[in-house]
Structure 1
Amino acid sequence: MDFAGKDKATYVKETFNAIAARYDLMNSLMSLGMDKRWRRLAVKEVGAKPGMHILDVCCGTGQLSMELGRAVAPEGSVTGLDFSQKMLEVAEKSLLQTSNPGHIRFIQGNAMELPFSDNSFDGVTVGWGLRNLPDLRQGLREMVRNVKPGGKVVSLDMAKPSLFGFKQAYWLYFEKLIPLMGKVWAKKASAYQYLHDSAREFPAQEELVKLFAECGLQDAHFTNLAGGVVAIVSGTKPRD
């Protein structure tokens, strides 16, 4: 993948800063509006309930964080962390439009070195973020460190469909049409070319399950969505 002579972390930060204003619109267009349902399923998978404290890593514009907030309200809390300041600015503006913004906070931080104590959260989520990390295993280990024993780490991200015919059509759509949509609506075709390239290089859902297990999670499994275009991958931190 070409990072224009920059390290991956710098390239990704600059890319997401550039598309922050249109990110939610593009997500809705690319997913044909299914992204909202996918986020609700991720919230259900992490087991978010009233009173829980959840960490949402690589929170971006905060859409998953706010879905989590609705599940843990009124006594619980959600911390959304991202390293893109522009994405967080969009998240803060969206948060002001919610009915109960008090139990959600957004902070700028590095997923490679999460600024929290061990066993701080009842669950950890990451939506469309793992493939952007410079070191996938290190990022997962940090999430495992931060979740309490018995809590879940849940990823919602691009996956790899396997059905012949559908698979080929999907990758053609992703390679040709998505960058064009990015050029038209987000004024940044290269950013959406990166999304295609990063999805291509990201481990398939079966491999990601193995990585979850390698990083110390039990009962790791995946659930395909939209024919395997997207997958929820989940694992549970062992109890002492």
Structure 2
Amino acid sequence: MQNFSGKSKEEFVHGVFSSIAHRYDLLNTTLSFNRDKYWRRFAVEQTNIKSGAMALDVACGTGMLSIELAKIAFPTGRVIGLDFCENMLAKAVENIDKTKYKSSIELVQGNAMELPFEDNTFDCATIGFALRNVPDVEKCIDEMRRVVKPGGRVVSLELAKPSAPVFKQLYYLYFDRLVPLLGKMGVGKDGPYQWLPNSLKIFPHQSVVRDMFSRAGLKDAVYHELTGGIVAVHVGIK
């Protein structure tokens, strides 16, 4: 299992996502049994934003969560999707161009550790399936809190650690053995989808992440477990 800190993790993750960008959405939907769409809709509901809102999607990847945000903010609102990976942003452009929300979404290349925005800019900040990939989870949460307006929400959609007996064992069997195999078949190379189970193993339990939200100064920090606890949506209010 890879053991990273700081820059080395950032460089490794950049390489992983650069290599899978072209198949990322298809594999997400396939490996989640098409539940990823519901998870994103639920996460956006937790932002509590309305039409006309200003939203930030950190580590936006291929832009699917940004599009969900734009569905609410449209037509007068604005969504900024930020990612550090050029290949993922290129795929996001393709995805957004297929929707009617192109005028509402702006894509920015940047680092989640140093968000290039002023304090108190956004009505919400989201991050989808990326918090476990950043070099410093608490710093990322704090950056998201910084750029959100007072009363705004920080929302994370992320893989989680289910606890139900039997289901937990079956899930980890699928996640540890089958996901890397299916990922290899999907992208034509070994390695990138081995990072998926490995990254979850070293990522804190959802209750620990909730405590990180609280330590960052976010009020009423809670998490919602979805689909048997295989993903969690964390919410905190500035």
| Paired residues for 1:103-114 under 5 Å | 103-114=104-115
| Paired residues for 1:89-104 under 5 Å | 89-104=90-105
Equivalent residue of 2:76, what SS? Answer: coil
Q: 2:154: which partner in 1?
A: 153
| Paired residues for 1:135-214 under 5 Å | 135-214=136-215
Q: 2:25: which partner in 1?
A: 24
Per-residue CA distance 1:42-66 (angstroms, 9 max, x = gap): 1100112100000000100000000
Q: 1:230, CA displacement in angstroms?
A: 0.4
Contact 1:181 1:189 in 2 (8 A): no
Q: 1:197, CA displacement in angstroms?
A: 0.4
Contact 2:44 2:69 in 1 (8 A): yes
Equivalent residue of 2:72, what SS? Answer: helix
Equivalent residue of 1:222, what SS? Answer: strand
Contact 2:51 2:72 in 1 (8 A): yes
| Paired residues for 1:5-154 under 5 Å | 7-154=8-155
AA matched with 1:2 = Q
Structure 1 vs Structure 2: percent identity of aligned residues?
Answer: 48
Q: Distance in 1 between matches of 2:190 and 2:80?
A: 31
AA matched with 1:85 = E
Per-residue CA distance 1:67-92 (angstroms, 9 max, x = gap): 10011101000000000100000000
Q: 2:2: which partner in 1?
A: 2
Distance change >3 Å, CA 102–CA 156, structure 1 → 2:
same
Q: Distance in 2 between matches of 1:218 and 1:37?
A: 26
Q: Distance in 2 between matches of 1:147 and 1:153?
A: 7
Contact 2:134 2:140 in 1 (8 A): yes
> Runs of 5+ in structure 2 lacking a partner?
none
Distance change >3 Å, CA 189–CA 4, structure 1 → 2:
farther
TM-score norm. by structure 1 comes to 0.96
AA matched with 1:229 = I
| Structure 1 vs Structure 2 CA RMSD | 1.3
Q: Distance in 2 between matches of 1:100 and 1:17?
A: 25
* Stretch deviating more after TM superposition (123-132 or 96-105): 96-105
Contact 2:18 2:85 in 1 (8 A): yes
Equivalent residue of 2:52, what SS? Answer: coil
Distance change >3 Å, CA 4–CA 199, structure 1 → 2:
closer
Q: Distance in 2 between matches of 1:186 and 1:4?
A: 24
Q: 1:95, CA displacement in angstroms?
A: 1.0
Q: 1:4, CA displacement in angstroms?
A: 9.4
Q: Distance in 2 between matches of 1:144 and 1:48?
A: 16
Q: Distance in 2 between matches of 1:164 and 1:198?
A: 22
Contact 2:2 2:198 in 1 (8 A): no
Q: Distance in 1 between matches of 2:136 and 2:42?
A: 26
TM-score norm. by structure 2 comes to 0.97
